[in-house]
Structure 1
Amino acid sequence: LNHDMTLAEFKFIWYMEYSHRMWGRVVGLAYILPAAYFWRRGWLSRPLKGRVLALCGLVCFQGLLGWYMVKSGLEEKPDSYDIPRVSQYRLAAHLGSALVLYSASLWTGLSLLLPRHKLPETHQLLRLRQYAHGTTALIFLTALSGAFVAGLDAGLVYNSFPKMGERWIPDDLLAFSPVLRNIFENPTTVQFDHRILGIASVTAVTALYLFSRKIPLPRRTRMAVTSLLAMACMQ
């Protein structure tokens, strides 16, 4: 396998993986050591202690998931001669856990650094908050679908847009049986779903931005929504 790989190419892959593992350990220490120090000094409030414990637990869980994911790529499959690859399910779990950890860390940090604005609970504000939560869930789902694209090399199946080849809906979209299996294991379906979710996410973010312009919001909230739209378009 990979007999044509040069030593330089192998070193590049090895150092990429090694750096990722070392960086993960640095992140773990950056969480756990300061948390233990602040806890011992009594600088954490009771609610914050719960968050800190949850974040440290997520860090450990993330490392465990990473090991579990890599392990799937090293398992021998006697009946398969495919290129060794990690499980797309475990890859999606690893990415999803990382997104949850990052989001929770950012939310915790901002809640400590920035005072919360007291806004009147109007009907429009409630609708905006609900829509923002829905958009967040959609973006999260889109990111997870990207992990399935990466895990199956589904991005190599069709490289034309907006059509997939010569068709809007490819013939092999539901080639696997049972049908539900296509969503997670058929590269064509996985790429198709990721395209649809990506378009839906950009549309949802745009609608969120337009809706937010109709409501009097604090300056930093407007900046956050505008930045979200800019990043969605860039992505």
Structure 2
Amino acid sequence: MKPPQTQQEWEDYFKMYKETPQWKYQNREMTIQEFKFIFYMEWFHRMWGRTIGLVFFLPAAYFWRKGWVSKAMKPRLAAFGSLLVFQGLLGWFMVKSGLEEPGDDIPRVSQYRLASHLGSAFLLYVGLLWTGLLHVLPRQKFEMTSQMRQLSKYAHGTMALVFFTALSGAFVAGLDAGLVYNSFPKFGDRWIPEDLFNFDPKWKNMFENHTTVQFNHRILGTTTAVAILSLWVWSRRLRLTPRASLALSCMAGMSVVQISLGIGTLLLYVPTWLASTHQLGSLTLLSFAVWLATELKKLPK
């Protein structure tokens, strides 16, 4: 897929865009120059995804054919490849939802598909990072005491919390839920918003009610930050390896940065650059969590 090369081609693409719900309900004042900007944003995202596929599959196929992939690594490599293909298909499925007629006159991609797309991307990233760290970094020896074992379990739990908090952020983004209750720590003048369970059946509020989705993300974000900082305080009493101590300190510091970014994004009515930085912060925080978990992994006998 290459972008339009001539003015006439741009006009043709722009004409096709005018048939989409996004144009009909939201962007009727858009100029062709503004259309070029969103076109290139989407084009770059697709090309980047395809490049990732080539960078993964070509070396993987070559190494596999040469017999350089260990027996233990083959299932993992196959899983990563399958997840990468699934991620691409899921991206197409997500974009397709944005081309359907909206039920509330606001065209947007399905928050369910957006969260699935982000979640699968993060899962793939975690798997690749985990595998890479275990192979690249030499293991540092430490005594696996009962306290260290508990710390390791706690670290894995906080890693899961970071992941699910990021996933809840996808629902916030998909619903534009960051544009309601732009105050902190209260929701307007209340600690608990009145419209938390307005939808029936009640479970829909968790995924479709703007207020509930934002409320959940706030609670998860705060819980995650408290859990990470508590883990850091607890670890001060233990003898960690230098790298584990560094990973935990980085994670603790990043949790403070990340929650600050989240609050700032909310109070400033979700500027795109700050919201993107907040999303990048979630990936950075998850990276530190994965790093810590690998450092606390029990050494093989």
**Both proteins in one fold, TM over 0.5:** yes
Aligned to 1:167: 190
Aligned to 1:106: 129
Q: Any idea what the Cα deviations from partners look like across 1:89-118, whole Å, max 9, x if unmatched?
A: 111011110111111111111111112233
CA contact (8 A) 2:176 2:210 kept: yes
Aligned to 2:152: 129
Aligned residue among 154, 168, 174 for 1:145: 168
Q: Does 1:11 align with 2:36?
A: yes
Q: Does 1:47 align with 2:72?
A: yes
Aligned residue among 51, 75, 99 for 1:26: 51
Aligned residue among 74, 80, 85 for 2:99: 74
Q: Distance in 2 between matches of 1:175 and 1:60?
A: 38
Query: Which amino acid in the other structure matches residue 72 of structure 1?
Result: S
Q: Distance in 2 between matches of 1:180 and 1:49?
A: 40
Please state whether the residue corresponding to 1:172 is helix, strand or coil: coil
Query: Which amino acid in the other structure matches residue 131 of structure 2?
Result: T
Ranked by relative contact order (alpha carbons within 8 Å, sequence separation 6 or more), the top structure is 2
Please state whether the residue corresponding to 1:74 is helix, strand or coil: coil
Q: Any idea what the Cα deviations from partners look like across 1:8-55, whole Å, max 9, x if unmatched?
A: 221111111110010000011111111111111221111111211111
Query: Which amino acid in the other structure matches residue 39 of structure 1?
Result: W
Q: Distance in 2 between matches of 1:41 and 1:108?
A: 20
Aligned residue among 52, 63, 78 for 1:38: 63
Q: Distance in 1 between matches of 2:203 and 2:104?
A: 25
Per the TM alignment, residue 76 of structure 1 is displaced from its structure 2 partner at its CA by 3.2
Query: Which amino acid in the other structure matches residue 122 of structure 2?
Result: L
Please state whether the residue corresponding to 2:184 is helix, strand or coil: coil
Query: Which amino acid in the other structure matches residue 145 of structure 1?
Result: S
The alignment covers a number of residue pairs equal to 233
Per the TM alignment, residue 119 of structure 1 is displaced from its structure 2 partner at its CA by 2.7
Q: Any idea what the Cα deviations from partners look like across 1:52-92, whole Å, max 9, x if unmatched?
A: 11111111111011111111111235xx3512111101110
Query: Which amino acid in the other structure matches residue 142 of structure 1?
Result: T
Q: Distance in 2 between matches of 1:76 and 1:199?
A: 36
Alignment of 1:162-201 (within 5 A): 162-201=185-224
Normalised by the length of structure 2, the TM-score is 0.75
Aligned to 2:236: 213
Q: Distance in 2 between matches of 1:229 and 1:174?
A: 33
Per the TM alignment, residue 176 of structure 1 is displaced from its structure 2 partner at its CA by 0.7
Q: Distance in 2 between matches of 1:162 and 1:7?
A: 41
Superposition RMSD on alpha carbons, in Å? 1.2
**Identical columns (%):** 61
Aligned residue among 224, 232, 253 for 1:230: 253
Q: Distance in 1 between matches of 2:240 and 2:75?
A: 30
Please state whether the residue corresponding to 1:173 is helix, strand or coil: coil
Aligned residue among 60, 64, 72 for 2:89: 64
Please state whether the residue corresponding to 1:174 is helix, strand or coil: coil
Q: Distance in 1 between matches of 2:144 and 2:218?
A: 36
Unaligned runs of 5+ residues in structure 1 are: none
Aligned to 2:180: 157
Query: Which amino acid in the other structure matches residue 79 of structure 2?
Result: A
Q: Distance in 2 between matches of 1:83 and 1:102?
A: 32
Please state whether the residue corresponding to 2:196 is helix, strand or coil: helix
Please state whether the residue corresponding to 1:146 is helix, strand or coil: helix
Q: Distance in 1 between matches of 2:219 and 2:42?
A: 31
Q: Distance in 2 between matches of 1:137 and 1:109?
A: 19
Q: Distance in 2 between matches of 1:162 and 1:88?
A: 25
CA contact (8 A) 2:199 2:209 kept: yes
